[in-house]
Amino acid sequence: MTRILNCIVIAVSALGFAGCGNGGQREADRSGTPEAQQMQYAEQISIDELPDALRRLKEGQMEFGFFGICSSPVACIYFMQEDGRFYIDYEAIGSDQLPYIDKIRRYAEEQGYRVVDTTYGNTPIDFDNPAQAPVLGLRIDADIDCIAKVGKQLMQTVFHNSDTTPYEIVP
């Protein structure tokens, strides 16, 4: 579990420093450069492809027992599973993510979802209070179709994304 949490910190930190995008250039645009031959790009999906990614997670085809979808460094939610049921976590590792904890909490309350305040024990990037980065969990205990709908609605309602917003899958 500690290894998974460390991977989350590394992924979120990388996103916070480098951003979730790649400046609009894909590998096909840069394939002739030495950097392109060494760089790996995150898988990109549309929100309508989320159920397929969740199926891969359920079938153990993802590198870890969870994954996140990110449209920007602040708009990154993680899908976790336990016994074939899914839930969503949001970790505020940077100060620019802290306001979204309250926004997601309000969204969850409006929808009647149970929320859990927790932490993975990760150290925040640029704030000291709290000493550990807060995590807000939406304990929906949903199947693939339901959690995909919740994830889509959350990204559209809280982060103002559209049906055409591209997402990177991150560990």
What 8-state DSSP symbol labels residue 49?
G
pLDDT of residue 6: 41
Confidence of residue 29 (pLDDT cuts 50, 70, 90): very low
Instruction: Specify which residues 106 forms β-bridges with.
Output: none
Mean pLDDT of the chain: 82
Number of helices (H), then strands (E), belonging to the chain: the values are 6, 7
**pLDDT level of residue 158 (50, 70, 90 thresholds):** very high
pLDDT tens digits for 82-123?
A: 887 899 999 999 999 999 999 999 999 999 999 999 999 999
Paired tokens of 138: 């939406």
Phi, psi of 37 (to 5 degrees): -70, -20
DSSP reduced 3-state for 2? helix
Q: What is the pLDDT of residue 18?
A: 39
- pLDDT of 36 higher than 50: no
Statement: residue 75 has pLDDT above 60: yes
| pTM of this structure | 0.75
* pLDDT class of 127 with cuts at 50, 70, 90: confident
